[in-house]
């Protein structure tokens, strides 16, 4: 693989090796531009397709080479990759047309536009603290002359630890390369060596120290960078990392599956224990309001278990609804961005006078891997939804569309559904009785203790069935505990079912 050095005068290690031994080093970039949204797959996940491109700047000091480690700062958890194609200017461009802009591109290379979501709150949209760190713009492994590349048919792939995470083609760009150059050149002189990062497709997500991220572009090669942890704490002079449920949802709101929050043992327990048992466990931990009253299941035979992906409806106001001209409203954005094992939780203010979702969108959520739907409003097409292998909880059936009473406003924000607060990422558990919320931070211990509670109740059920009093049995007294523990060991060894 061959390429050229971005860094001036050959004083620093090369980002890419020379195309040919006698070819001079390529100029270092004076400016690095990033494009916010430019692949349709990414735009659909974000819920908006821009009418014109928008940009941010990354400092030249953020440039790194193929093989360089990317450092996740101490205290940050959401370092995300974004595999991209980078344009490197070959000639000066100012006020050029898209055709001339395409001709002004001198080289193509691969980029990885890293950023930490933990610091986005402090940037106010600038991306300086989130994406401007030293080493957060790996480029390489080589620079390929523009004449050797067909910009309309380039395929980009990103791999994490060898597994495919992103794949898309420049045929699916919203804004072509020449247009990007022309747009920027209306106001900014682009110099030889300047870099334009052309956007990332769907599939970007956080990575951890120990992971290896590789970005591949056919005809250029593969850019490889390991992730490492910083050796020192962040100095406390300014903004510090901050993660909210909304930030975490934004970081993971991709086509990639959400990372497992629950262990296999906890997941198995939550698929077995009743919602009644879980309310007892949560109340013992000081959380009393977790069961969503007044909701019914379409399929009492199906269990619900998944992570909350929230959607908030507000009361319809015609002028606000008319001003929402997005290609996909918040309802459709939520459905098109929901990930595997997520539950769409809809706040409809307890208003059941119109449907909040129907069979087509429910089917689309199911096809995207959704674990279920919960709404405290009406359900449209309820007979058809009941035929889907998708646990759905709702207040009442209603044939009218949501535009009669509801306006979908925003997704992945805290919501109140059936009188219960739901945070994005909370664990939803449902059975034939109803559905409740388990805070994600408590899910492991609640699952473990709920399983033990049901084992004790199974023993009590047997005792009462044999004619005993509940005294000392339910609840279990210390005097009867040795008897129960012997029973529990026997049933564990025989694989008996502990549920009553």
Sequence-ordered list of residues with C-beta below 8 angstroms from that of 340, at least 6 positions apart, any chain: 257, 258, 368, 369, 370, 371
pLDDT of residue 223: 97
Residue 455 and residue 431 in one domain: no
CATH of the domain at 44: 3.90.850.10
Sequence-ordered list of residues with C-beta below 8 angstroms from that of 72, at least 6 positions apart, any chain: 79, 116, 208, 209, 227, 228, 229, 230
Q: What is the full per-residue pLDDT of the chain (500 aa) written as tens digits?
A: 334 444 433 333 345 544 554 556 678 899 999 999 999 888 877 777 888 999 999 999 999 999 999 999 999 999 999 999 999 999 999 999 999 999 999 999 999 999 999 999 999 888 999 999 999 999 999 999 999 999 999 999 999 999 999 999 999 999 999 999 999 999 999 999 999 999 999 889 999 999 999 999 989 999 999 999 999 999 989 999 988 767 877 887 543 345 456 888 899 999 999 999 999 999 999 999 999 999 999 999 999 999 999 999 999 998 888 877 666 788 998 898 888 889 999 999 999 999 999 999 999 999 999 999 999 999 999 999 999 999 999 999 999 998 889 999 888 889 999 999 999 889 999 999 999 999 988 999 999 999 888 888 887 788 888 888 888 877 878 888 887 778 877 877 555 444 44
98 membership: H or E segment, kind and range: helix 98-103
Backbone angles phi, psi at 262, to 5 degrees: -95, 140
Sequence-ordered list of residues with C-beta below 8 angstroms from that of 283, at least 6 positions apart, any chain: none
In a domain, 3, yes or no: no
Is residue 358 within 8 A of residue 390, CB to CB? The reply is: no
CA–CA distance, 185 with 175 (Å, rounded to integer): 15
Residue 77 and residue 215 in one domain: yes
Q: Are strands 212-217 and 83-89 parallel, antiparallel or unpaired?
A: unpaired
Boundary-marking domain end, from 219, 242, 265:
242
In a domain, 281, yes or no: no
Residue 310 and residue 357 in one domain: yes
Is residue 113 within 8 A of residue 223, CB to CB? The reply is: no
Residue 210 and residue 353 in one domain: no
In a domain, 251, yes or no: no
In a domain, 199, yes or no: yes
Backbone angles phi, psi at 403, to 5 degrees: -60, -10
Residue 230 and residue 375 in one domain: no
In a domain, 420, yes or no: yes
CA–CA distance, 454 with 452 (Å, rounded to integer): 5
Residue 206 and residue 347 in one domain: no
In a domain, 233, yes or no: yes
Whole domain around residue 64: which residue ranges? 8-242
In a domain, 266, yes or no: no
Burial of 29 (0-12, 13-18, 19+ CB in 10 A): buried
CA–CA distance, 27 with 193 (Å, rounded to integer): 5
CA–CA distance, 206 with 196 (Å, rounded to integer): 23
Boundary-marking domain end, from 414, 438, 462:
438
Dihedral sign, Cα of residue 357, residue 363, residue 366, residue 367: negative
Residue 448 and residue 421 in one domain: no
CATH of the domain at 363: 3.50.30.40
Alpha-carbon radius of gyration of the chain: 27
Residue 394 and residue 416 in one domain: yes
In a domain, 267, yes or no: no
Residue 415 and residue 462 in one domain: no
Residue 21 and residue 128 in one domain: yes
Residue 21 and residue 101 in one domain: yes
Residue 215 and residue 304 in one domain: no
CA–CA distance, 206 with 254 (Å, rounded to integer): 10
Dihedral sign, Cα of residue 166, residue 169, residue 172, residue 178: positive
pLDDT of residue 211: 95
Dihedral sign, Cα of residue 154, residue 158, residue 163, residue 164: negative
Give the distance between the most distant pair of CA atoms in the chain.
95
Whole-model pTM: value is 0.56
Number of domains in the chain: 3
Boundary-marking domain end, from 438, 454, 476:
438
């Amino acid at each position: 693989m061959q390429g050229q050095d971005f860094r001036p005068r050959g004083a620093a290690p090369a980002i890419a090796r020379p195309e040919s031994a006698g070819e001079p080093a390529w100029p270092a970039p004076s400016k690095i531009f990033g494009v916010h949204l430019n692949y349709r797959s990414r735009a659909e996940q974000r819920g908006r397709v821009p009418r014109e491109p928008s940009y941010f700047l990354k400092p030249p000091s953020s440039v790194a080479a193929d093989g360089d480690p990317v450092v996740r700062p101490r205290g940050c958890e959401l370092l995300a990759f974004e595999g991209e194609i980078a344009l490197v200017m070959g000639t000066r461009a100012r006020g050029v047309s898209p055709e001339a802009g395409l001709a002004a591109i001198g080289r193509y290379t691969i980029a990885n536009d890293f950023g930490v979501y933990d610091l986005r709150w402090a940037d106010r949209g600038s991306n300086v603290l989130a994406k401007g760190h030293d080493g957060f713009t790996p480029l390489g492994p080589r620079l390929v002359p523009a004449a050797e590349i067909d910009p309309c048919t380039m395929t980009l792939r990103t791999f994490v630890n060898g597994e495919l995470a992103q794949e898309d083609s420049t045929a699916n760009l919203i804004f072509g390369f020449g247009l990007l150059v022309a747009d920027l050149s209306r106001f900014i002189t682009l110099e030889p060596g300047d870099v334009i990062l052309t956007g990332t497709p769907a599939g970007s997500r956080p990575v951890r120290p120990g992971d290896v991220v590789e970005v591949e572009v056919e005809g250029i090669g593969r850019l490889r960078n390991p992730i490492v942890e910083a050796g020192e704490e962040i100095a406390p002079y300014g903004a510090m990392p901050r993660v909210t449920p909304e930030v975490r949802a934004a970081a993971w709101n991709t086509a990639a599956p959400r990372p497992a929050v629950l262990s296999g043992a906890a997941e198995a327990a939550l698929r077995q224990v009743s919602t009644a048992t879980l309310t007892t466990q949560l109340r013992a931990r000081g959380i009393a309001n977790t069961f969503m009253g007044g909701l019914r299941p379409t399929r009492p035979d199906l269990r619900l278990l998944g992570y909350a992906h929230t959607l908030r409806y507000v009361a319809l106001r015609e002028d606000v609804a008319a001003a929402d001209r997005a290609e996909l409203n918040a309802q459709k954005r939520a459905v098109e961005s929901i990930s595997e094992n997520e539950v769409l939780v809809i706040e409809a203010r307890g208003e059941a006078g119109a449907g909040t979702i129907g069979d087509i969108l429910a089917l689309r959520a199911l096809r995207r891997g959704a674990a279920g739907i919960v709404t405290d409003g009406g359900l449209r097409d309820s007979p058809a939804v009941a035929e889907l292998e998708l646990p759905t909880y709702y207040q009442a059936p209603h044939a009218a569309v949501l535009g009669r009473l509801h306006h979908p406003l925003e997704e992945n924000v805290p919501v109140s559904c059936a009188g219960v607060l739901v945070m994005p990422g909370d664990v939803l558990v449902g059975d034939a009785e109803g559905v409740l919320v388990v805070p994600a931070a408590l899910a492991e211990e609640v699952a473990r203790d709920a399983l033990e509670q049901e084992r004790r109740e199974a023993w009590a059920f047997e005792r009462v069935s044999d004619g005993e009093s509940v005294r000392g049995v339910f609840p279990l007294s210390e005097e009867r505990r040795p008897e129960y523990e012997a029973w529990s060991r026997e049933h564990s060894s025989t694989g008996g079912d502990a549920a009553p």
